Amino acid sequence: MTRVLFVSTSTGPLFFAFVKNKINLQKWDKMSFLVDSCIMFFSQVLFFGGGWVFFLKQLFRDYEVHHSVVLLVFSVTFSVSCNMFELIIFEILGIMDTSSRYFHWKLGLFAILFVLIVVLPFYIAYFIIGNLRFVPRKKFIQGILTFVAWCVFMYFFWKIGDPFPITSPKHGIFSMEQCIGRVGVIGVTLMALLSGFGAVNYPYTSMFYFIRHVTDSEIQGIEKRLMQTMDMLINKKKRICLAKRESLRQASQNIGGGIWGMLKTVTSGGPSENISLLKQENSALEELSRQLFLEMVDLNNAQERIEYSKTFKGKYFNFLGYFFSIYCVWKIFISTINIIFDRVGRVDPVTRGIEIAVNYLGIQFDVKFWSQQISFLLIGIIIVTSIRGLLITLTRFFYAIASSKSSNIIVLCLAQIMGMYFVSSVLLMRMNMPLEYRSIITEVLGELQFNFYHRWFDVIFLVSALSSIGFLYIAHKQAASSID
């Protein structure tokens, strides 16, 4: 359902923009600016709705929304982030006037920086302080503490920029370029970490080569062991229960006995010793039962994967997995080359592909037209897959760690991650676009050291991919050995 919504929100504004281009409007500057702004506003509303629905139906599936400001802030972040992607697409397709595009770029950039640096950290601090037990309940004190926390955040945010060659000296102290530079560093790090892990994890989960073979008898064996452990645990708890009742009865009988009664309870101290020993055995058994249960979950998951691999969908993804793993190996290789030889690719893949096609393969076609179409397709695919991939990862992350107390804080942190991720993907996407479309990004983002960001991405990607390989290898070996 979210897929349908997503497709409709992305094609809606495109449709309107195409209609406007086809109809020959008088080149009246103010009028066209108004129309462009209406298009942008309309698409913003659509993206806002998309974020709203995603939040309610997917993320907050098991929780009730107590503070609607969380829902609002999340949807606003999503809509402003998607706005930037939309502007890139408009840039490639030549929709809207250059001047209004430039204006909306600046506006969108200011909006997202405001949300990422001021709004989100403020609300995250507010909810964290609200959850702490030792803070008094008065709103005024909480507000002051939140503001102090936000100032601390701003200090560290500024400090992050120091070790990196982010800005050139001609920028002012509090300019947008400084902020973008820092947001870019954090976002690029996040992107590289997630890409590195995803590049290694996707082939591992989708290819059959890595599936553990689990038989029914193994699962039944573990089930039997688990139930035996539970039975032993229950028997011991029953003994404790009965012993407690016995000692209560004895104590009530001896109340009237005076000194003689006290002597009696002291000498018959047998049951109480048993109780503490039994409790120790119980905690060991409980730990064992937890481990057996987790092993059983692993075995059941492995069996589900085997079942899935027999279906058509499973086979299709396995096939894709092979291609993707080749792509991942190539990407790791290229990152290493880039770092060793200090090389940053200057030519984007579209132009390089067309060059090869024209010069080596001798295919003749209208370069300008096709370069536009292919860039549109390539950039569009990159945008859609990165949005979808990020939303799926965030959802899975949220389900794993959220509880009813921390759900607000975690979802706001995820919104922050999402915003930073999208800003830096715009930054890095510049390299995938032909020269004529790069200019707007360069112009809008100011003179950032783009080469630095690509190099930083390569480094973190390599580190993340290699450590994921190591991590998965250890986990795989451990899982295989625990069954035997």
Partner 1 sequence: MMSSVEKVKILVVGDSGVGKTSLVQLICHNEPTSNPGWTIGCSVEVKLHEYKAGTPAEKTYFLELWDVGGSTSHTNSRSIFYNPVHGVILVHDQTNRKSHQNLRKWLAEVLNKDNMKLLGNGYEFDPEQFAGSQVPILVIGTKLDLAESIREKGVSRSSSIAEECGADEINLDCQQVKSLAPGSTNAVKLSRFFDKVIEKRFNSGREGNWCSDWLRMS
Q: Is 61 in the site for partner 1 (CB under 8 A)?
A: yes
Interaction between residue 305 and partner 1 (CB under 8 A): no
Q: By CB under 8 A, what part of segment 212-231 binds partner 1? A: 223, 226-227, 230
| Amino acid, res. 378 | L
Q: Which of 18, 179, 81 is nearest to 417 (CA)?
A: 81
Cβ proximity to partner 1: between 28 and 399 the closer is 399
Largest CA distance in the chain: 112
Structure tokens at 329: 């190996």
Instruction: Answer yes or no whether residue 474 interacts with partner 1 by CB under 8 A.
Output: no
Residues 6+ apart with CB under 8 A from 261: 254, 255
**Shortest Cβ 62–partner 1 spacing (Å):** 5
| Candidate ranges 23-31, 294-302, 330-338, 386-394; the one touching partner 1 (CB under 8 A) | 294-302
- Residue 223: count of CB within 10 angstroms of its CB: 15
CB of 404 to partner 1, least distance (A): 5
Distance of CA 99 to the CA centre of its chain: 34
* The token pair that represents 421 in the structure block: 């991720």
Reading the block at residue 44, the tokens are 């913003």
289 binds partner 1 (CB under 8 A): yes
Answer whether 335's CB lies under 8 Å from 462's CB.
yes
Query: Should residue 278 be labelled a site residue for partner 1 when binding is judged by CB under 8 A?
Result: no
Phi, psi of 363 (to 5 degrees): -85, 130
Binds partner 1 (CB under 8 A): choice among 141, 242, 251, 337: 242
User: Does residue 347 interact with partner 1 by CB under 8 A?
Assistant: no
DSSP label at residue 209 = G
CA separation for the pair 439, 447 (Å, rounded): 11
> Residue 224, class by beta-carbon neighbours within 10 Å (0-12 exposed, 13-18 middle, 19+ buried)?
exposed
Round to whole Å and give the CA distance between 248 and 242. 10
| 438: nearest Cα among 379, 384, 383 | 379
- Secondary structure of residue 134 in the 3-state scheme: coil
Is-contact 306 208, C-beta < 8 A?
no
Q: Compute CA distances 90 → 4, 17, 31, 87, 440, whole Å.
A: 22, 9, 19, 5, 11
Whichever of 139 and 405 has its CB closer to partner 1, that residue is 405
SS3 475: helix
The nearest distance, CB 405 to partner 1, in angstroms, is 8
# residues contacting partner 1 (CB under 8 A): 34
Query: Contact with partner 1 (CB under 8 A): which of 1, 3, 23, 64?
Result: 64
Residue number with CB closer to partner 1 (153 or 293): 293
Interface with partner 1 includes 125 (CB under 8 A)? no
Q: From the CB of 296, what's the least distance to partner 1, in Å?
A: 5
Site string for partner 1, 411-450 (x = CB under 8 A): ----------------------------------------
Q: Does 297 interact with partner 1 (rule: CB under 8 A)? A: yes
Residue 296 in the binding site for partner 1 (CB under 8 A)? yes
Q: Which of residues 143-202 bind partner 1 (CB under 8 A)?
A: none
Please identify, using beta-carbon distances, which residue of 136 and 163 lies nearer to partner 1: 136
Tokens of 52: 């709203």
Least distance between partner 1 and beta carbon 289 (Å): 6
Q: Residue 235 and residue 287: Cα distance in Å, rounded?
A: 16
| Shortest Cβ 227–partner 1 spacing (Å) | 7
* Closest approach of partner 1 to the CB of residue 233, in Å: 6
Nearer to partner 1, 122 or 293 (CB): 293
**Binding status of residue 399 toward partner 1 by CB under 8 A:** yes
Q: Residue 268: helix, strand or coil by DSSP?
A: coil
Rounded to a whole number of angstroms, the minimum distance from the CB of residue 352 to partner 1 is: 44
Instruction: State yes or no: residue 63 binds partner 1 (CB under 8 A).
Output: yes
Residues that bind partner 1 (CB under 8 A): 61-64, 66, 223, 226-227, 230, 233-235, 237-239, 241-242, 245, 286, 289-290, 292-294, 296-297, 300-301, 304, 399-400, 403-405
